[in-house]
């Protein structure tokens, strides 16, 4: 276990990349707030694993698209100590596959609420709480984007890719605004990764089906994406802000 690094909030941390990031953050010495929207059992398992590894963690329910829930999430985190790291991992596809013309207005609105507005709300509160100009410790924000932005995900998730394009722009702009506050803002952009996201959208074999398109010949693992997130959070990346780091096997 590393020395204490402060408190890290990981949104959408009950499974997949979020869960892997939370466990790695606990091992790196952060007290971890495992945020979840609905999967309380999954969040509890992540907390248990962090504690079994000798770390400190709590699970906190909250929908990041609700500004009041975001406030409550930060309040719960500050009970553990100063927040120094925020990972905006919570994101949804709307569990639909197809052309944009067939995506319902409700799905489009919900994806934008969670992926874009939710990330913005989290970033706003992170700066308020972490800013060295208002007594905070400074720190780092890492947003989760997607390499879907590069091609736009035609025929599958154009709406999702568009939301992640917004996350990229947010990351670049906010990095400049947050720098005087002692806060770095970066993003990790995963490619095809072995998570439950594909099965939830009705494509359980998607990773296997597209691996021939990936130069490294396979899908990524959540722990590999988490390692990039933790690197950007840490002091090794202390001169990096406004970066979007692809973790995509060369695709």
From the candidates 74, 121, 157, 160, give the one annotated as an active-site residue.
Answer: 160
Write down the residue that tokens 């494509």 correspond to.
Answer: 203
Dihedral over alpha carbons 195, 197, 203, 208 (to 10 degrees): -20
The pair of structure tokens assigned to 131 is: 């800013």
160 in active site: yes
Write down the residue that tokens 């990981």 correspond to.
Answer: 10
Residue closest to 15 by CA, chosen among 224, 196, 202, 223: 196
Residue 94's contacts (CB-CB under 8 Å, 6 or more residues apart) are 103, 107, 108, 110, 111, 159, 160
The pair of structure tokens assigned to 29 is: 């010495």
Eight-state DSSP code of residue 175: H
Distance CA(182)–CA(63), nearest Å, equals 27
Distance CA(21)–CA(226), nearest Å, equals 5
Hey, which bits of the chain come out as E strands?
Answer: 7-10, 31-36, 56-61, 83-88, 139-144, 183-190, 244-247
For residues 59 and 9, the answer to whether their CB atoms sit within 8 Å is no
The pair of structure tokens assigned to 178 is: 């947050």
Distance CA(25)–CA(2), nearest Å, equals 10
Distance CA(128)–CA(29), nearest Å, equals 23
Query: Which residues are marked as active site?
Result: 160
């Amino acid at each position: 276990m590393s020395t204490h690094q402060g408190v890290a909030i990981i949104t959408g941390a009950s499974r997949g990349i979020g869960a892997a990031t939370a466990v790695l953050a606990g091992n790196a010495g952060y007290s971890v707030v495992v945020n979840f929207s609905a999967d309380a059992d999954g969040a509890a398992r992540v907390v248990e694993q962090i504690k079994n590894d000798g770390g400190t963690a709590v699970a906190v329910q909250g929908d990041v698209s609700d500004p009041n829930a975001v406030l409550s999430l930060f309040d719960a985190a500050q009970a553990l100590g100063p927040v120094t790291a925020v990972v905006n991992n919570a994101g949804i596809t709307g569990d639909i596959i197809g052309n944009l013309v067939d995506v319902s207005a409700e799905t489009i609105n919900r994806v934008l609420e969670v992926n874009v507005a939710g990330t913005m709300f989290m970033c706003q509160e992170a700066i308020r709480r972490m800013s060295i100009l208002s007594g905070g410790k400074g720190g780092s924000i890492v947003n989760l984007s997607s390499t879907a932005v590069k091609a736009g995900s035609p025929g599958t998730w154009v709406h999702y890719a568009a939301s992640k394009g917004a996350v990229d722009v947010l990351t670049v702009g906010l990095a400049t605004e947050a720098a005087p506050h002692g806060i770095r803002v970066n993003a990790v952009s995963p490619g095809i990764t072995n998570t439950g996201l594909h099965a939830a959208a009705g494509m359980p074999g998607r990773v296997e089906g597209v691996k021939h398109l990936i130069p490294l010949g396979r899908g990524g693992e959540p722990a590999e994406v988490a390692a990039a997130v933790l690197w950007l959070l840490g002091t090794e990346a202390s001169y990096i802000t406004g970066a979007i780091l692809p973790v995509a096997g060369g695709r």
